[in-house]
Amino acid sequence: MPLIDPGKKAPDFTLLDQHDEAFKLSEHEDKGIVLFFYPKDCTSGCTLEAQDFSALLKDFRKAGAEVVGISILGTKSKKKFVKDAGLKLRMLADDHETDDKKPDPKVAQKYGVWTEKSMYGKTYMGLARTTYFIGPGRKVVQRWDGVKVPDHAGQVLEAVRAAGLKAVASDPRPSR
């Protein structure tokens, strides 16, 4: 499926987080959501990106948005990632697989970020590092493609601040 353009409604989904608790996007329609897709837990670039968002979490909430990360690895991997990287974020597992155990991430496909990649002449499917800022009512406000990690979280925070949303309370389910 194609990427979702700003102005369009973000598809609803439900995924489990690092505590095996469900996160349903439509239950958060009254606030902004920063949804960042990243390739793999516990890798250097993905860890840095998640830590940058986590460090700014209070600022995102003051600006009116909750921050949630998604990759294709399961909840056990998410739990380890959150613990090892010291994250305060909900990290969601889009870990659906085909019958032959190949990744088949349903949410990443809905959002257009499950794409063909290549390395050393081999092609494979993987997550494209992409961030969506979804406003109240699930309207996509802005999308960042081909994300470069340095300063990205700060750029997203500026966009959230510019939207003029009402501050949100802390998530009642901390990362523990």
Provide the annotated active-site residues: 46
Length of the chain: 176
Cα first-last separation, the chain: 35
> Which residues fall within 8 angstroms of residue 136, CB to CB, at 6 or more apart?
29, 30, 31, 32, 165
Q: Label residue 40 exposed, middle or buried (CB < 10 Å: 0-12, 13-18, 19+).
A: middle
φ/ψ of residue 59, rounded to 5: -65, -40
Transcribe 128-169 into DSSP letters.
Answer: --EEEEEEGGGEEEEEE-S--STTHHHHHHHHHHHTTPPP-P
